[in-house]
């Protein structure tokens, strides 16, 4: 049994330095060539140049339906001097693609011919040589170079290759990558009881994700079964599989500071460690090494870290093996919706949502956690903060690397504000009704939404701000914080807010007063959210200090995150909507029914995508789907509540 050793990073390198180490050590790792049928060549890279075996067309062909003639015999024809031709002697009917009869070099279109009689034709205009004719070799000439070596074959290329008489092509063999997932907590998704997954077990997904990234680079992969966190087991897995026939190795997991670094130990034992830790976030724990003269990477266990490490360090090696350049990244300038802090000395990759609001592109940061795979699936772009600065200020445009086409960004409805589950239904229905528009929601709380409206950073803002003086919602806040903005306030839903507790309510919580009990662990919403304002209002009514609530400072940004905290046991109770409790089969203790509304600046109300959104929320289908969530009331959904004067 091995003794526990705290993992200490070797001297970490910058990303630029780590990439240079990779290029210096593995730049000569080229693949062998292989001959394959041309029909299997799409996506492959040519190892040898390809020259045409035949011409295309390989005969002179009519390019129009009409009559083939010798052009010189038509010279002088006009309306006042029509010329006659005899079919079968000096004029021959042809259709498009037909071989040109011997002795002819032009085609007169059928609509330019006058029929006389006895197979005689009359023309009133001349044609020049090779008019309306595809000459032999017009497209491809036998022996000409079709594609040079290292050219990547596309479906269009396939058409040209077959047309030129090519039956086989010589391509670089696909790099084969061995992927070894490690972790005693991992289980195969095919073997797990997905509805009763024990605490502490995690479905292994990284190997499948990284394998498909390998395929996207032009490689292929071998996936080893999950290996436990044990140096000997990982070493034996590599020895048993062997490196023969493998061009690159990825060991997944076991490469972080503060725990025993199994990947580093194995690479150190079987080969050499070249890089141990890179000053980038996510992806810092990545290891670069060499075993049997093959590149080997110790990949971080968190999925976002694994993606960044792959794209920055592994992908370049695979592309070099195939003589391919790294893909060029499209960039645009975007305006961050808030300040972005960053650690000095670390290059940070921040995933963002993008949208065009007015005349500017705005970027809303997604959660930065290395374990948040949805921050990649939802991201439209990446902001890279260099390691020599401590962050970015708001209201200053920054470069963003696009992950989606720019057209998609222009067609995005940007929603910033309070979280509500009905926004997911709206997003789905928008995609169902339009193949262009999308809804992008960023959950920063009701006050955050109003501030985004004020700064012109979104199209709509969800809000449910209680005015404690009269019990109304939202209008007084709009008047106070948006005095110079003309907006529409559209009612979306009334929803039941209350206390979310575990089934059976083990702590016997009945109302807000119970949050102050010393044995009750609470999970809060972030400052500025409508739910937080509601809580503070009720605590004030009861003369309860937030200091007396265990967990008041622990914050989440969505109702579902609050519900998950209760479900997981991280908290005994949270304040949230009934729909979140119902979704996770938790119990719900009603506190208040509140109004959740949409604030829409006047200039966007009559735009096509906002009209579509309003049409959707006023539809019977939408209201029916919302009803099924539980805890919602849709009697006045879609109504105009208030409008700035």
Position 372 pLDDT exceeds 60: yes
- Cα torsion angle, 299, 201, 208, 270, sign: positive
Overall average pLDDT of the 377-406 stretch? 89
Q: Which has more pLDDT, 492 or 377?
A: 492
Position 375 pLDDT exceeds 90: no
- Residue 109 CB neighbour total at 10 angstroms: 14
Q: Tell me 313's DSSP state.
A: I
What's the CATH architecture for 33-56+139-172? Answer: Alpha-Beta Complex (3.90)
Q: Which has more pLDDT, 345 or 637?
A: 637
The confidence score (pLDDT) of residue 138 equals 84
Q: Which helix (H) or strand (E) holds 365?
A: strand 360-365
Overall average pLDDT of the 628-637 stretch? 94
Do the beta carbons of residue 139 and residue 96 sit within 8 Å?
Answer: no
pLDDT digits (tens, 9 = 90+) for 92-149: 999 999 999 999 999 999 988 888 788 899 998 899 999 999 998 888 999 999 999 9
Q: Which helix (H) or strand (E) holds 66?
A: strand 66-69
- Residue 73 CB neighbour total at 10 angstroms: 17
Q: Which helix (H) or strand (E) holds 424?
A: helix 422-433
Q: Tell me 59's DSSP state.
A: S
Banded pLDDT at 202 (limits 50, 70, 90): confident
The confidence score (pLDDT) of residue 499 equals 97
The confidence score (pLDDT) of residue 2 equals 35
Per DSSP (E only), the strands in 54-97 are: 61-62, 66-69, 83-86, 92-94
The confidence score (pLDDT) of residue 205 equals 93
The confidence score (pLDDT) of residue 145 equals 95
Overall average pLDDT of the 241-268 stretch? 81
| Of 248, 247, 224, nearest in space to 296 by CA | 248
pLDDT digits (tens, 9 = 90+) for 492-546: 999 999 999 999 999 999 999 999 999 999 999 998 888 999 999 999 999 999 9
Overall average pLDDT of the 550-565 stretch? 93
Banded pLDDT at 314 (limits 50, 70, 90): very high
The confidence score (pLDDT) of residue 255 equals 54
pLDDT digits (tens, 9 = 90+) for 58-79: 899 999 999 999 999 999 999 8
| The CATH fold of domain 15-29+175-321 | Molybdenum Cofactor Biosythetic Enzyme; Chain A (3.40.980)
How far apart (Å, rounded) are the C-alpha atoms in residues 536 and 515? 12
How far apart (Å, rounded) are the C-alpha atoms in residues 263 and 285? 11
| Structure token pair of residue 149 | 């070596």
Banded pLDDT at 221 (limits 50, 70, 90): very high
Position 211 pLDDT exceeds 70: yes
Overall average pLDDT of the 208-222 stretch? 96
Overall average pLDDT of the 41-64 stretch? 94
Overall average pLDDT of the 577-591 stretch? 94
What's the CATH architecture for 450-643? Answer: 3-Layer(aba) Sandwich (3.40)
Q: Name the average pLDDT for the chain.
A: 91
In the chain, domain spans: 15-29+175-321, 33-56+139-172, 61-134, 331-410, 450-643
Overall average pLDDT of the 195-216 stretch? 91
Position 644 pLDDT exceeds 50: yes
Alpha helices in 460-607 (DSSP H): 475-481, 530-541, 559-568, 578-583, 602-605
How far apart (Å, rounded) are the C-alpha atoms in residues 577 and 324? 52
Position 3 pLDDT exceeds 50: no
Position 215 pLDDT exceeds 70: yes
Q: Which residues contact 118 (CB under 8 A, 6 or more apart)?
A: none
pLDDT digits (tens, 9 = 90+) for 504-514: 999 999 999 99
The confidence score (pLDDT) of residue 7 equals 47
Indicate whether this model's pTM tops 0.95: no
Beta strand 202-203 pairing with 398-402: unpaired
CATH 2.40.340.10: does it fit domain 331-410? yes
The confidence score (pLDDT) of residue 444 equals 84
Overall average pLDDT of the 40-67 stretch? 94
The confidence score (pLDDT) of residue 254 equals 63
- Domain 61-134 in this protein, CATH class: mainly beta
| Structure token pair of residue 578 | 């009934």
pLDDT digits (tens, 9 = 90+) for 282-293: 999 999 999 999
Q: Which has more pLDDT, 468 or 607?
A: 607
């Amino acid at each position: 049994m091995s003794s526990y050793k705290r993992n200490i990073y070797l001297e970490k390198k910058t990303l630029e330095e780590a990439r240079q180490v990779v290029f210096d050590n593995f730049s000569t790792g080229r693949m062998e060539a292989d001959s394959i049928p041309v029909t299997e060549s799409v996506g492959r890279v040519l190892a040898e140049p390809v020259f045409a075996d035949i011409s295309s067309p390989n005969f002179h062909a009519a390019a129009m339906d009409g009559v083939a003639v010798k052009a010189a015999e038509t010279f002088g024809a006009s309306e006042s001097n029509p010329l006659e031709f005899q079919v079968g002697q000096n004029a021959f009917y042809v259709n498009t693609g037909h071989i040109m009869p011997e002795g002819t070099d032009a085609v007169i279109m059928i609509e330019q011919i006058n029929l006389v009689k006895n197979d005689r034709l009359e023309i009133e205009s001349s044609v020049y040589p090779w008019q309306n004719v595809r000459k032999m070799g017009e497209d491809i000439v036998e022996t000409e170079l079709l594609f040079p070596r290292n050219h990547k074959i596309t479906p269009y290329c396939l058409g040209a290759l077959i047309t030129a008489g090519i039956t086989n092509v010589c391509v670089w063999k696909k790099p084969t990558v061995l992927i070894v997932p490690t972790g005693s907590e991992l289980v195969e998704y095919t073997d797990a009881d997905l509805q009763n997954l024990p605490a502490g077990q995690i479905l292994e997904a990284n190997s499948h994700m990284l394998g498909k990234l390998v395929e996207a680079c032009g490689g292929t992969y071998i996936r080893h079964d999950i290996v436990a966190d044990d140096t000997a087991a990982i070493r034996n897995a590599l020895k048993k599989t062997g490196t023969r026939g493998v061009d690159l190795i990825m060991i997944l997991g076991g490469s972080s500071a503060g725990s025993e670094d199994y990947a580093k130990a194995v690479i150190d034992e079987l080969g050499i460690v070249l890089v141990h830790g890179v000053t980038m976030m996510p992806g810092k724990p990545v290891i670069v090494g060499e075993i049997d003269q093959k590149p080997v990477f110790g990949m971080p266990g968190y999925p976002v870290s694994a993606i960044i490490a792959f794209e920055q360090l592994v992908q370049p090696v695979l592309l070099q093996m195939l003589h391919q350049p790294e893909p060029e990244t499209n960039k645009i300038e975007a305006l961050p919706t808030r300040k972005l802090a960053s650690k000095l000395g670390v290059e940070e990759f921040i995933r963002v949502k993008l949208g065009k609001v007015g005349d500017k592109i705005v970027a809303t940061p997604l959660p930065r956690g290395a374990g948040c795979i949805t921050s990649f699936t939802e991201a439209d772009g990446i902001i890279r903060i260099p390691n020599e600065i401590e962050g970015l200020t708001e209201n200053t445009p920054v470069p963003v690397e696009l992950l989606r086409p720019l057209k998609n960004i222009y067609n995005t409805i940007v929603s910033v504000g309070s979280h509500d589950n009905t926004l997911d239904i709206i997003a789905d229905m928008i995609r169902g009704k339009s193949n262009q528009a999308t809804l992008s929601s960023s959950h920063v709380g009701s006050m955050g939404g109003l501030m985004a409206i004020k700064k012109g950073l979104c199209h709509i803002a969800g809000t449910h701000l209680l005015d404690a003086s009269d019990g109304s919602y939202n209008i007084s806040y709009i008047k106070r914080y948006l005095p110079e903005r003309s907006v529409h306030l559209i009612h979306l839903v009334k929803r039941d807010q209350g206390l979310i507790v575990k089934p059976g309510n083990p702590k016997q919580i009945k109302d807000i007063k119970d949050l102050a009990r010393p044995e009750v662990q609470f999970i809060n919403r972030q400052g500025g959210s409508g739910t937080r304002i509601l809580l503070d209002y009720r605590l004030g009514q009861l003369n309860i200090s937030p200091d007396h609530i265990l967990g008041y400072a622990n914050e989440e940004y969505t109702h579902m995150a609050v519900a998950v905290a209760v479900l997981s046991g991280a908290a005994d109770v949270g304040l949230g909507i009934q729909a979140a409790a119902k979704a996770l089969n938790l119990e719900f203790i009603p506190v208040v029914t509140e109004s959740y509304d949409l604030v829409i600046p006047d200039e966007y109300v009559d735009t096509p995508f906002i009209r579509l959104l309003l049409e959707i929320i006023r539809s019977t289908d939408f209201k029916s789907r919302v009803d099924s969530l539980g805890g919602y009331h849709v009697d006045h959904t879609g109504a105009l509540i208030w409008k700035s004067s």
